[in-house]
Amino acid sequence: MDQLPGIPDMSARSPRRAGCSGGTMTVMTESITQVGGHETPGTHALLRRWPSAIGLLAAVSAFLAGPDRTTVGIVVGIASMCYLTAAALGRPWTAWAAIPVCSALIIVGGLLGTAPLTLLAVTAAVVVVIGVLARASRRALTAEAVGALVYGGVAVIGLGLAPTAGLVLVAIALIAHGAWDAWHLRRKVVVSGSLAEFCIALDVPLGLSLLVGLVVT
């Protein structure tokens, strides 16, 4: 049927209005759903930072406990073992597993009268041998073995110094290990990103707080 003169044709406009209204309602509904389900960008970003939260919590706990040079040296040693273990086994997730395993070994060694850093040194040597037998990446294994040797060596030297001087040295080593963590996090190599992020949040704040505490007191 032809359109009567003077009366506008509304049939062509109605679908566009309906589409616009429907799209608006869809967007509003999705927004309400996301807010109601707590899936906001801010919440998601916070959840992704769980390694930093755990690392900071560990740093605060360690600082409040009043660590000495031996305790901080153990932290440096275990941190190095995380990277060495992951390189030797070729599995990034094993870096996380190295933390409770090394902690348990240190506890058992303490009961047997074995020095913690000595025990970690022996464990590191065993891990390197395992890596060679397992045909791990020679480049990664060598780099992490050298890193463990350097950081572990600094920790041992710190034990031979006077208490304050030794604590300063191992605190600096801990901060330096934070740079090692950051390099791995940026390059996404050897360990998982979560482990590297956790270590940064533990090493740097703890090391800095120890140095500041020494200056203040």
User: Cβ distance 77 to 152 under 8 Å?
Assistant: yes
Q: How many domains, in total, are found in the chain?
A: 2
Per residue in 133-143, pLDDT (tens digit) is 999 999 999 99
Q: State the DSSP H helix or E strand holding residue 136, giving kind and residue range, or none if neither.
A: none
Instruction: Clarify whether residues 95 and 195 are in a common domain.
Output: yes
Q: Which of 9, 31, 48 is the last residue of a domain?
A: 48
Percent of the chain with pLDDT over 90: 75
Per residue in 134-185, pLDDT (tens digit) is 999 999 999 999 999 999 999 999 999 999 999 999 999 999 999 999 999 9
Instruction: Clarify whether residues 188 and 105 are in a common domain.
Output: yes
Look at residue 21 and tell me whether its pLDDT is greater than 80: no
Look at residue 44 and tell me whether its pLDDT is greater than 60: yes
Q: Which domain holds residue 24?
A: 1-48
| Reduced 3-state DSSP string for 20-86 | HHHHHHHHHHHHHHHHHCCCCHHHHHHHHCHHHHHHHHHHHHHHHCCCCHHHHHHHHHHHHHHHHHH
Rg (CA), the chain: 28
Instruction: Clarify whether residues 42 and 120 are in a common domain.
Output: no
Residue 46's pLDDT band (cuts 50, 70, 90): low
74 or 48, higher pLDDT? 74
Instruction: Clarify whether residues 76 and 150 are in a common domain.
Output: yes
User: Residue 34 has what pLDDT?
Assistant: 46
Instruction: Clarify whether residues 112 and 21 are in a common domain.
Output: no
Instruction: Clarify whether residues 44 and 69 are in a common domain.
Output: no
Look at residue 191 and tell me whether its pLDDT is greater than 70: yes
Instruction: Clarify whether residues 6 and 31 are in a common domain.
Output: yes
User: Cβ distance 206 to 78 under 8 Å?
Assistant: no
Instruction: Clarify whether residues 84 and 174 are in a common domain.
Output: yes
Instruction: Clarify whether residues 7 and 111 are in a common domain.
Output: no
Mean pLDDT computed over every residue of the chain: 85
User: Residue 217 has what pLDDT?
Assistant: 76
Q: 25: burial class by Cβ within 10 Å (0-12, 13-18, 19+)?
A: exposed
Please spell the DSSP secondary structure of 143-208, one letter per residue: HHHHHHHHHHHHHHHHHHS-HHHHHHHHHHHHHHHHHHHHHHHHHT-SS-HHHHHHHHHHHHHHHH
User: Cβ distance 149 to 127 under 8 Å?
Assistant: no
Instruction: Clarify whether residues 199 and 187 are in a common domain.
Output: yes
Kindly report the pTM of this predicted structure.
0.79
Instruction: Clarify whether residues 112 and 14 are in a common domain.
Output: no
Q: Indicate the DSSP class of residue 115.
A: -
Look at residue 3 and tell me whether its pLDDT is greater than 60: no
